[in-house]
Every structure is written in C-alpha cells, then in structure tokens.
Amino acid sequence: MTEQKGGVLSFGILAALWASSSAVVAITDALNRAYDVQEGRPWWKVRGVALLLTIGLFLFIVAAMVLLIFGPQLSDWLASLVGLGKVFERLWNIIRWPDSAGMLIVAMAVVYYYAPDVEQQWKWITPGAVFAVNVWQYWRGDCLSDVVVSDCTIPVDGKGDQRGS
C-alpha cells in the first residue's frame, strides 16, 4: 500500500515549471511588442531565459513572503543570536514591509531587463517595476494579510461576506 511515486512528483514539478515559464514567455512577447522589436533569439534561448526567470521569481517571491509572514519570528531569532534586544525587533518589524516590496521591485526589474530582446542599461528601480508591484499589491487587496491571521473575507452566493478561517 505504501509504494513511492517520486516520478509523479518530479513530473509534476517539471510540468509546473514549464507552464509557469510559458507565462514568462508571454511576458517576453508583450515586452518585445512594447519595445516594438521582433524576437531575434532562438526558441531554446527564449525558453531558457524564461525558465531561469521563473525560478528566480519564485525564489524572490518566496523570500518576500517569508519576510512578511515569519518576520517577527526571524527578528526574535536574530535579536537573541546577536544580542540586539527589543529595539532591533521593533525596527525589523517595520523594515520587513518595505524590504519585501523592494525585493519584488528588484524581481520585476530583472524581468524587465532580461525578458525582452533589446539592449538596454540596467536600472535598479524602474517606474514599470514600481507600478507592477503597486498594482499587484492593490489587486491582491487585504486578503493576503488576512490569510496570515487566518481571517480572509470570502464572498458566498452574493449574500454578503462570510468570515472564514
């Protein structure tokens, strides 16, 4: 009854990675249109860049979410490890919000730099990256922060909001 299915898990991870990188390929196409250029790279290079960007975005987003969700625990651990005390813990709890947003802005800047087939200069913070992160934060609303405290608003049958846990 307890047979291992490592191949199924590996296939699922590879399929999810391929599907996610397809979204990055679509972003690449959109950015090429925005820059009014034709894609000149071979398909394997476009897909390779998309796979690397997908993995990088995943790591950036996970790190940003870990900072947001486990920020207090991380500050407690760091403060006790280095012996910084309560001032560091409070400062960390304030800094983790702009830090996670900054990580997302850098992730978007990396996409805007490497995805399109154009030669351009690197910019750490681009207006497009700031705009994309702000729209994403607005779009996700307060539900993400509510999930952290297990209290997300879920509409049910159009009869108002039900509070779930």
pLDDT tens readout for residues 11-47: 888 898 999 999 999 999 999 999 999 999 999 999 9
What is residue 6's predicted lDDT score, i.e. its pLDDT? 64
For the ranges 40-44, 90-94, 100-104, 147-151, the lowest mean pLDDT is seen at: 147-151
Q: List phi, psi (to 5°) of 68.
A: -70, -45
- Residue 92 in any domain: the answer is yes
- Residue 130 in any domain: the answer is no
- Residue 150 in any domain: the answer is no
Rg from Cα positions in the chain: 20
- Tell me which H or E stretch contains 164: strand 161-164
Strand, helix or coil for residue 152? strand
What's the token pair of residue 83? 């012996």
Q: How many domains does the chain have?
A: 1
pLDDT at 1 over 90: no
- Residue 146 in any domain: the answer is no
- Residue 51 in any domain: the answer is yes
